[in-house]
A = this chain, B = another copy of it.
Amino acid sequence: MNVALIGQGFMGRAHSNAYHQVSRFFDIEDRPRLKLLCGRNREALRAMAARWDWEEISTDWRDAVSRRDIDAVDIAVPNSLHAPIAIAAAEAGKIVLCEKPMATSLVEARRMAEAARGVLTMVWFNYRRVPAIALAKRMIAEGRLGRIFHYRAAYLQQWGNDPTRKSGWKLDPAIAGSGATGDLLSHVVDTALALNGPIARVSALQTTFEPGRKVDDAVAAIAEFENGSTGTLEATRYATGALNRNRFEIHGSLGMLAFDLEDMNRLEFHDAALPAAEQGTRSILVTSPSHPYGANFWKPGHIVGYEHTFIAALADFLAALGSGAPFHPNFDDGLAVQDVLDAVERSAATRAWTLPSAYRAANQA
């Protein structure tokens, strides 16, 4: 697989690392080849290509789409470019990998998903591959929580209030689409959908604390899930003291699970089936061979970090590519997230309970 990566920022670095590292930790038949790196700043591009061993560079992303020796186009640029690049790449028959949030609007996301119907796709919701989150998913699938009552999630960061970070594309609505909603709540929603199924309706509140800022600094929603559970979904860039606290807790009839990305090697589990006198919340250090990806990385108790979520996501994607098995999250999954984000934004704008369009459609049919 010859890869063209478009993007020379933080995410470009995380993806580059994944392309190199995936074959160290996973059995990959054909290693991805780091063929072409695209970006706008030629000088920085050169330095990045040198550091991360990209074979060639281009300042025009269209090269990634038009070159016949490129198999996969990986999009790690600001949000508003996701749709044009992804659609062009898909129409050129490329495998398409795209950073989150998939798009700046539901309309864009729909166009992307439609354009990509015939190609293999992936949205980089990398946190699904946090070993502890993958374990949570497995335990829920095994019925360890029983019937779910509550899903409570919040993604907390603090930099929105940092006086040294008052500009940048993430604060520009034309490029980012939204603020905390697209940037952070997208992760919250993707994980929620993966662990707890479709969201039926939301009532949401978006807030901007910084005068003059055009994107939301914080968002909070109450939600009903299709499975009858209720939840709160939050994201904010104004949570002083929180660096990257993407956390959730899930209460079911048989137990509880909780997670915090700042302690990402741990999963908290309460097993309500144990004898009363021995019940308590247990901290599982998710680093053992019996855990997802535990056999791939280091030894029990030897923890992994942020970058490993990209490596594991890529490994699963490559495995799906090889076996023909479906991969998630793909563009349809990304669209489902965008649909909920859209409902959140409409709810906040109208101050009314709002149904995601897919849910409305399904229940009207």
Contact = CB atoms under 8 A, between A and B. Distances in A.
Interface residues of A, number: 91
A123 to B, nearest CB: 19
Most chain B CB neighbours (cut-off 10 Å) among A203, A240, A251: A240
A245 B301 contact: yes
Interface in A266-289: 266-267, 269-272, 275-285, 287-289
A360 to B, nearest CB: 15
B285 A278 contact: no
A253 interface: yes
B298 A307 contact: yes
Nearest to A239: B251
A209 interface: yes
A2 interface: no
Given A135-B277, A269-B280, A300-B244, A150 B236 contact: yes
Given A51-B23, A149-B240, A209-B149, A291 B277 contact: yes
Q: Of A224, A228, A241, A267, which is in contact with the most chain B CB atoms at under 10 Å from its CB?
A: A241
A166 interface: no
A87 to B, nearest CB: 30
A216 to B, nearest CB: 11
A282 B268 CA distance: 9
A23 B351 CA distance: 51
Closest 10 CB pairs of A and B: A243-B301, A244-B301, A241-B270, A280-B284, A241-B256, A282-B282, A305-B305, A277-B290, A302-B306, A280-B282
Given A244-B299, A303-B306, 18 more contacts: A17-B24, A20-B20, A158-B251, A203-B351, A205-B224, A207-B230, A220-B231, A241-B256, A241-B281, A244-B300, A277-B284, A277-B288, A278-B282, A280-B285, A282-B283, A297-B305, A298-B307, A302-B306
